[in-house]
Structure 1
Amino acid sequence: MLQFLRRKLFYLYSFQNPSLKSISQLSNSTNQPSFKVSYLINSCGPSKEAALKVAQKINFETAEKPDCVLAFFRNHDLTKTHISNIITKCPQLLVYNPDKTLKPKFEFFLGLGISAPDLAKTLHLNPYILARSLENQIIPTFDFLKSVLHPNEGIIVALRQLPFLIQFNVPKVLEPNVKTLRNHGVPGSRISTLSMTNPRTLGIKSDRFSGIVTAVKEMGFDPSGSLFIAAVIAMAVLSKSTWAGKLEVYRSLGWTDDEILSAFKKQPWYMTTSEQKVRRVMDFFVNRLDQKPSFLSKHPNFLLLSLEKRIRPRCSVLQVLMSKGILRKDLKLSTVLPLTEKKFMEKYVTKNKESVPEILSVYQGKTRVTGLDIGSQESDAVQKL
């Protein structure tokens, strides 16, 4: 009777205080997550924060399944760092049946001649491969890659690109896109380059990809040249609305449509430059170097350079050296800005340190140079001080 009354009182108290839970509910809501978190930290090595996130994505009540998966990984030369990264990125692997889902995939890769260390490195970077179907996704994608890679590129190259292409449908997307390139006269070596440098481009919808390739060819790009592939990639990474917005930006800065196209044919990647950067670089060349807006359409590569780390520091050095008569005033920016850091330092900074002690400080931005009007209209020659 006394026990009955206690249970009754506890029930009524709990009902009047909905924030309280029964003892069993408290046990289920705290002990189970804490078990998973503790297990993950002790067996896989992620941080507590990472373990908490992983614990929310998977469910296991005992260590039986996770132990089997971790033992499988260790037996295949994966380090604790590898395992921690793999489980953090792809938690569902921890409750897989290793014999049914993991072992066949490892045997496939190792059977191709891929070494255990190379496989471990790939899985460390992109473990999602192991979550894909071997028969329906991994093998078809791998066979596709081998068909488009250049003959002198081996299995390891294909393995490196596999994670980026494995998410796409081979017969419905990848193969039609490659066929489109071949039908437009793009040689196999260029297709191979695209597969290695920007494999995601091959994964866009086939109708859009076909439209991009056709547009690039109509612009006058040579399908056998490297710029053709660069133009395809540049257009593929921008949506139609973003592309239209880019056109309006350059028009607002004084470029004609012919200048926009001419610049694109010289350097397709300039179209991917952010509007903010374009306006800042344009302002520097027009208002500080005394150039017309059309100057940059002739040298679109400059829009890819860092204003703070390359353009401004180098122009400051040139300004100082010209003011002291060390450099000719008709020096062309197009011969200076593209130089590597090492060559620029050797030719313009190190070489002149004795005659101009402050030159390094100028280059590093510690000594400010005013009045950077070192250009002339419609020319890339540095003439006006």
Structure 2
Amino acid sequence: MLVAAICRRRLAVLFPPNLWWRIPSPLQSWDFRPYFPQLFLDGVAGGPCSEPCPDTISYFISCGLSPDDASTTARNLRIRSTEKADAVCALLRSYGFSDRDVARMLRSAPLLLTVDPERIIRPKLEFFPPQSHHPTMRFLRGVISSDDEIRRGFYRSPRALTGNLDKNMRPAVEALRNHGLTNEEISKILAVHMSVLMQSPTRIGEIFEDLKAAGMSIKDKRFTNCFRVMCSMRRETWHRKVALYRSFGLSENAVFEAFKKQPTALLVADETIKKKVSFFLDVLKLEISAVIAHPVILASSMEKNIMPRCAVLSVLMREGKIEPDISSLSARSAAPAWRGSRVSGKSVQGVDLLRRRHWASRLDLWPFLALYVLWLLVVVPALDFTDALVVLGVFSAFHILAFLFTAWSVDFRAFVGYSKVKDIRAANACKVTPAMFSGSKEIVPLHIQKTVASSSATGEVEEIYFDFRKQRFIYSSEEDTFFKLRYPTKESFEHYIKGTGYGTDAKINTAVDKWGRNIFEYPQPTFQKLMKEQCMEPFFVFQVFCVGLWCLDEYWYYSLWVKIPGTELLPGDVVSIGRSLSGEDKSVPADMLLLAGSAIVNEAILTGESTPQWKVSVAGCGPEGNLSVKRDKNHILFGGTKILQHTPDKSINLLSPDGGCIAFVLRTGFETSQGKLMRTILFSTERGLEDPTRSRYKLFLSCSLILTSVIPPELPMELSIAVNTSLIALARRGIFCTEPFRIPFAGKVDICCFDKTGTLTSDDMEFQGVVSLKDEEELITDANKLPLRTQEVLSSCHALVFVDNNWYVGDPLEKAAIKGIDWIYTSDEKAMPKKSGGQPVQIVHRYHFASHLKRMSVVVRIQEKFYTFIKGAPETIQERLVDLPAVYVETYKKYTRQGSRVLALAYKLLPDMPLNVISIISNSHWSPINLLLTGMMLMDSLPDMF
């Protein structure tokens, strides 16, 4: 807004014809269109006409002026040819001026139409391009703190733009630095008086000498204002003013002290100074020492301020209401003039319909305006002005508190800025109350739009909804309730297996309108927003008050696979997903149900566990059952997890083009498991008064006691010192804190709990051996001495996956067992001993570990015989053993107390049965009994040394 300010002021000195080509080129891209009319008044030709020309009036009307304005403007100009005028208007519009801007400019400066647009106007327009790399601007940016400060400086002193960089600006700044001023102090001076750049180094040195003689230090807060005034006069003028004040009988020190208090008092003309002093001495019978003690009255206007106030004071003094005191006059001279449902869902508890008030009817505006008017009409005439100012301060404090409470309390903001309505179609916002302990209330917009009823419908219906924390709630007129947008997560397995995705673009567009795009668009607050939030925190306001007191999306489309971005996935899509062909880990873009194939995924981003998980399809589940996300998580690929390996199912008719696994999209965006985690991070924190467990009465009482107590001035400093001391002490111990404001809260901590696996210990496990209970308790640590059946159970009862180059993916415990017994595991799911003497064990079917069963098992084939091998918690296997050793319970409790992880190993010979029968038996129904115990496996977790 540089030119915006300058053009409204005094631009006549900015562009004289003889100085134009010396003006430094581009400065910055401030929008100057609203203030442009006076920019070209210098150097244009024209003169007033006695009678407006009808053709000129018509032309102005065609440019957007009203008939009255066109008639008035045409008196100052006669357009003989519209060719140049049209060229001027076209040039202005090409630089972004709207028709309204052009009309406003012509109304204020019609002579613009008479100048040469290419020779005069275009160079001046190019003076302010979008980017400026001119040496002058780079130099100023190195001195002044911001472009806004540069704007303010040129706003007050536009003549400084005519200065030369090397002849004026650099020497002036260098002189200021040589006299001890820092860049920050120089920036403050230039912001209020940019014409300092036009001062010579000699004149700057004289100013510093005179200020030093007057007892002014550069560290004084009044230095900037005094320096600005000194730059506005010559040295001879300064000495003449001082001599004039001394002629009234004042000492030099008294004149200098008055100058420090009110530097502009010396800018008044000599005759005016004499007139004011004569009035105070001869008419008011005041002492010159009393007058000079309040120099603000010498800088006030005689006619507008001093005389009217003296007339009022004289009446009050005659009536005995006040004592003769010049301080009353100075206070009044310096005083500024007054300026005048319901909702279904666990995450939301309730919804209130609101309608935004007009700005003039806001309860934080008009009541206080009424109070201010009452203060002006009633309080000011009835009380002393000082008491009236106290009342005004109280009103202003309540007004500020009302403004702050709109930021602290959603209920108060709704009360102030909105009105409650009962008709949902009259509402344009709603106040949403989340479930208890789920965050704070919010006011969100209420949307009403036309949409199709479903992907197969053709007619339009009215849909009313609001979005709250990345969730959409849709209004049902039949039940008068808001329902959360439902995702297809509770359908039968038959529904998912028969799913064919979306067949047409119209259906896809309808689904996009309903579900939204599959993308995480979480709010990223700007620095200004974070700064505002911190500054408006109650404790921060209290401190200020104290200081004042003191993805890949592929779907089935007419038997064709179509490749789309993962962000376009929709619930109901049938996709093909697998490990990237390049070998890199591939993140799952949404929650998906595996329909065919299997995959190994890393879910560390959701659970923190580094152990990969094996996901299998729902092909073995009965079509009559319903999906449960918690129970059937072994069949679900969760969004954000990484696929380490996948195995497609080649037995089905639906084959994917990239050899991936077939999956059904369940949830997208913030409704996925990863999205719920993100929403918890973003919205779960309660703030301030929104904690329902805190007593409002005790909180109010405590705040009142704090506010009415004597608050030590050093409190904020002591808090800062305590935090800084803590940071230094932590840093000495190699501990660094990223959020220092949490240090005071750490003083309340009595106990710290740490997770063991992966923190106190490493993720790897160490195989200790197997405890044999055949005759008596015996710990066998040598793998070669283990019974063959025990080695077969250890080598095959696991969920490891062979990837490549003898690299296994799976539980570190199972990897350690394979390594401890010196067996190998191949890609065709076969375990074999490295040494001769054992038969290969072929894994036929796996029943994966389930936390509620506390066991896992496999069906294997050894020399055409089928066995089931089981391992699990000792207390679980205990119930299924055909012969329980006497020391069974005592043994596993003994090693458990020593910190070892104990798993019981057992097996059973199975009768002949078809393999397809085995594959369709679910994990929960596979419950073999009469098992034979082969021992107890011991594992240890190594301490994490790093």
> Does structure 1 residue 262 correspond to structure 2 residue 257?
yes
Corresponding residue number in structure 2 for 1:215: 210
Residues 215-251 of structure 1: per-residue CA shift (max 9 Å, x gap): 2234321213342222222222223443343234323
| Distance of aligned partners of 1:63 and 1:342 in 2 relative to their CA distance in 1, 3 Å threshold | closer
Pairing 1:274–2:269 present: yes
Q: 1:162, 1:282 → 2: CA distance? A: 31
Does the 8 Å contact 2:261/2:295 carry over to 1? yes
Q: 3-state SS of the aligned residue for 1:304?
A: coil
1:178 corresponding residue in structure 2: 173
| RMSD over aligned Cα atoms | 4.3
| Structure 2 residue identity aligned to 1:320 | V
Letter of the aligned partner of 1:270 in structure 2?
Answer: A
Matching residue of 1:351: 382
The corresponding residue for 1:20 is none
Q: Which residue of 2 aligns with 1:70?
A: 89
Judged with a 3 Å threshold, the aligned counterparts in structure 2 of structure 1 residues 88 and 178 are, in CA distance, closer, same or farther, namely farther
1:292–1:93 Cα change, 3 Å: farther
- Provide the secondary structure at the position in 1 that maps to 2:298: helix
Secondary structure of the residue aligned to 1:214 is: helix
CA–CA distance in structure 1, aligned partners of residues 383 and 125 of structure 2: 64
Within 5 Å, give how 1:73-222 maps onto structure 2: 73-75=92-94, 76-77=96-97, 78-82=101-105, 88=111, 94-96=117-119, 101=123, 104-106=126-128, 108=129, 110-111=130-131, 139-151=134-146, 153=148, 157=152, 160=155, 163-222=158-217
AA in 2 matched with 1:339: A
Q: Which amino acid aligns with 1:340?
A: P
Supply the distance in 1 between the matched residues of 2:154 and 2:332 (Cα, whole angstroms): 40
Distance 1:351 1:208 in 2: 53
In 2, Cα distance between the equivalents of 1:308 and 1:97? 44
CA 1:288/1:207 → structure 2, altered by over 3 Å: closer, same or farther? same
**1:251 partnered with 2:270:** no
Corresponding residue SS for 2:142: helix
When the two structures are superposed, what TM-score results if normalisation uses the length of structure 2?
0.26
Residues 84 and 114, structure 2, Cα contact 8 Å, conserved in 1? no
Residues 172 and 196, structure 2, Cα contact 8 Å, conserved in 1 = no
Amino acid at match of 1:217: K
For residue 290 of structure 1, give the secondary structure of its aligned residue in structure 2. Answer: coil
What is the 5 A alignment of 1:43-58?
Answer: 47=73, 51=77
Tell me: CA distance 1:160–1:265, structure 2 relative to 1, closer, same or farther (3 Å): closer
Sort the Cα spacing of 1:242 and 1:102 in 2 relative to 1 into closer, same or farther, 3 A: closer
- Aligned equivalent of 1:314, options 309, 318, 327: 309
Q: Does the 8 Å CA contact 1:177/1:202 hold for their aligned counterparts?
A: yes
What is the rounded CA distance, in whole Å, between the counterparts of 1:339 and 1:182 in structure 2? 37
Which residue pairs with 2:460 in the alignment?
none
The code of the aligned residue for 1:79 comes to V
Distance 1:324 1:102 in 2: 63
Contact 1:142 1:158 in 2 (8 A): no
C-alpha separation in 2, matches of 1:162 and 1:319: 41
Instruction: Tell whether the 8 Å contact from 2:258 to 2:295 is kept in structure 1 after alignment.
Output: yes
Q: Structure 1 105/240 Cα, relative in aligned 2: closer, same or farther at 3 Å?
A: closer
Whole-Å separation in 1 of the counterparts to 2:258 and 2:112: 41
1:258-313: per-residue Cα shift (whole Å, max 9, x none)? 33223223222111011222122112211222222232222222101123332233
CA distance in 2, matches of 1:250, 1:179: 34
Q: Is the 8 A contact 2:248 2:288 kept in 1?
A: yes
Change (3 A) 1:313 1:87: closer
* Counterpart code for 1:81: R
User: Which runs of no fewer than 5 residues in structure 1 stay unpaired?
Assistant: 1-32, 56-60, 113-134, 354-385
Structure 2 unaligned regions, length at least 5: 1-45, 64-69, 340-374, 385-946
Distance 1:214 1:147, change over 3 A: farther
Q: Given the superposition, is the C-alpha separation of residues 307 and 247 from structure 1 closer, same or farther in structure 2, using an over 3 Å criterion?
A: same
- AA aligned opposite 1:216: L
Could you say if the C-alpha distance between residues 91 and 177 of structure 1 is closer, same or farther in structure 2, counting changes exceeding 3 Å? farther
Change (3 A) 1:164 1:224: farther
CA distance in 2, matches of 1:314, 1:325: 16
Distance (whole Å) between structure 2 residues aligned to residue 320 and residue 162 of structure 1: 43
Partner amino acid for 1:198?
A: H
Structure-1-length-normalised TM-score: 0.59
CA shift, 1:73, in A, is: 1.0
Cα distance in 1 for partners of 2:74, 2:93 equals 22
The alpha-carbon distance between structure 1 residues 92 and 198, as it changes in their structure 2 partners (threshold 3 A), is: farther
Higher relative contact order (Cα pairs below 8 Å, separated by 6+ residues): 1
Change (3 A) 1:238 1:40: farther
Alpha-carbon distance change, 348 to 259 in structure 1, aligned in 2, over 3 angstroms: farther
Question: When the two structures are aligned, how many residues end up with a matched partner?
Answer: 285
How far apart, in 1, do the equivalents of 2:292 and 2:326 lie? 19
Identity percentage of aligned residues: 25
Shift of 1:214: 3.3
AA matched with 2:93: R
**Structure 1 residue 346: Cα displacement:** 7.6
Structure 2 CA distance for partners of 1:317 and 1:255, relative to 1, 3 Å: same
Q: Deviations over 1:49-91 (max 9, x none)?
A: 7548xx9xxxxx9876664443111222142332565674897
How far apart in 2 are the matches of 1:153 and 1:103?
A: 20
CA distance in 1, matches of 2:272, 2:249: 16
User: What is the rounded CA distance, in whole Å, between the counterparts of 1:286 and 1:161 in structure 2?
Assistant: 36
Closer, same or farther: CA 51–182 of 1 in aligned 2, 3 Å: farther
SS at 1:166 equivalent = helix
1:97-131 Cα deviation digits (max 9, x unpaired): 877x456445x2x246xxxxxxxxxxxxxxxxxxx
Distance 1:86 1:155, change over 3 A: farther
What are the residue-to-residue correspondences of 1:325-364 with 2, within 5 Å?
Answer: 325-328=320-323, 332-333=327-328, 334-342=330-338, 350-351=381-382
- Structure 1 residue 167: Cα displacement: 0.4
**Deviation (angstroms), 1:178:** 1.9
Partner Cα separation in structure 2 for residue 178 and residue 351 of structure 1: 54
Corresponding residue number in structure 2 for 1:14: none
Following superposition, the deviation at residue 330 of structure 1 comes to 6.2
For 1:229 and 1:349, the matched residues in 2 are separated by 35
Confirm or deny: 8 A CA contact 2:85 2:113 kept in the other structure: no
- Sort the Cα spacing of 1:293 and 1:350 in 2 relative to 1 into closer, same or farther, 3 A: same
CA offsets per residue over residues 338-370 of structure 1, 9 Å max, x none?
3334499789961169xxxxxxxxxxxxxxxxx
Contact residue 141 and residue 162 of structure 1 kept, 8 A: no
The answer (yes or no) to whether the contact 1:65–1:95 under 8 Å persists in 2 is no
Match of 1:13 in 2: none
Quote the Cα distance in structure 1 between the aligned partners of 2:246 and 2:259.
14
User: Comparing 236-245 with 175-184, which one deviates more in the overlay?
Assistant: 236-245
> Cα offset for 1:323?
3.1
